Amino acid sequence: MATPAQKEYSRLSASFKVLSRDLRLIFASNLVGAFGDGLYAYILPYYIAEALGASSVEVGILFALTSLTAALTLLVAGALADKYDRKKIMIAGWFAWLPAPLIFAFAKNWVQAIPGMILWGFWLGGPTSTAYIVTTADKNRLTLAFTMISSAWSLGYIFAPALGGYMAGKVGMTTVFIAAFTLYALAALTLGFIRSQYAPRQQEKMEDSPLTTLQLIKTRKLALISAFFAAVMFAMMMFRPFVPEFLAYIYHYRKFEIGVLGSVAFTGSAVLGIVLGKFGDKYGKKFSLATSMALCSFSLAVMLSSGNFYILTFAFFLMGASYITWSLMSAVIGPMAPEHIRARWISIPQTVSMLASILAPYLGGVLYSVSPNLPFTTAIVITAVLTLISLFQKF
């Protein structure tokens, strides 16, 4: 008789089989790259403040530059991915990131880190990988394919922050940044083995299928879906930056315990991503999306209700659902797009969502200054409303 662990491994193996050879390589690339990213991403704000002399406002400016760059490059990536080989655009995305950790390693002050923060914001893989996955994956298992590939990022982030912090204390941040550079390069190299993919040429009339970005933005269906997902991302990003601070100052947890809870959240993201992916393929994407937001709302309510570490562990596992909303969004919007303009079509709601996520932490900070509970209670209400709205959407 198989043990529970063996049964779980068997289920995970069966889920992994939904990925084709090319999608497994993308999974591997994301896993390796995420591990490299996780080595320094979690402690980068601290490093910029302590080692490069940035104030809290200057740290905020640097990260706002990264988010703004990401929002702007999504539209560019969408246009490039519909014109050129999508494989090469995804590889270019990793190459854009390559210099970033080296710039951080040799920067002497926060101003010298600006080019690194801008390059770190280049997100050429956003709409490109979404279009590639939609075209390649089994259409009956599309939600699971997206959440499986997204889980690679969560798996990469489970242990990397702790290892990066340990390495920083033992051998210094320069070594951490060089290790991240090496893993970024390996992630790009892995994508070199996937098959090329081009968007098909369109022969229809312009009025049958709008081709310009402006025409696409004016499409009512796309405008509504963009507004909805912008609201979703706004709600997620409004509270997320303030979770560690809340745990430290309200519940008096130390960095190690906060890090453990962060790892639990990423573990929850990986596990719940697979579960909700299967759920979405069987019962509908809107139910999977609604469930993820409901879990997020519930987890925040639990976090506010108790500072007990074991209860918080349960809450943070469920909070992992907030990290898979982007992959669920991709699973929803990807099949809606015409194949010949799929990447550009996808880039519009992704860009609008990213722009919303830039503004969200500012509002969260204002609410947090009024009361530490306020950004979380506000997020609970918003996600609950969005949960209900999603159930009536025709995804």
pLDDT digits (tens, 9 = 90+) for 84-95: 899 999 999 999
Q: In the chain, what are the domains?
A: 21-193+213-391 (1.20.1250.20)
At 317 the pLDDT is 93
Residue 280 half-sphere exposure, CB side, CA atoms within 13 Å? 33
At 9 the pLDDT is 46
> How far, in Å, CA of 1 to CA of 96, rounded?
50
> How far, in Å, CA of 222 to CA of 350, rounded?
11
All residue ranges of the chain with pLDDT < 70 are 1-16, 56, 201-218, 255, 337, 394-395
Q: Which of 232, 231, 241 minimizes the C-alpha distance to 364?
A: 241
User: What value, to the nearest 5°, has the Cα angle with vertex 263 and ends 259 and 268?
Assistant: 145
Dihedral-angle region of residue 252 (phi above 0 means left; psi in -120 to 50 means alpha; beta otherwise)? left
Q: What backbone torsions phi and psi does residue 367 show, to the nearest 5 degrees?
A: -65, -40
Q: Give residue-wise pLDDT tens across range 327-357.
A: 777 777 777 767 777 777 777 887 888 888 7
> How far, in Å, CA of 33 to CA of 90, rounded?
12
Residue 12 half-sphere exposure, CB side, CA atoms within 13 Å? 13
At 205 the pLDDT is 43
Q: Number of helices and strands (H, E) in the chain?
A: 19, 0
Full-model pTM:
0.76
At 144 the pLDDT is 80
At 8 the pLDDT is 45
Q: Give residue-wise pLDDT tens across range 161-203.
A: 878 878 888 888 899 999 999 999 999 999 999 999 888 765 4
At 4 the pLDDT is 46
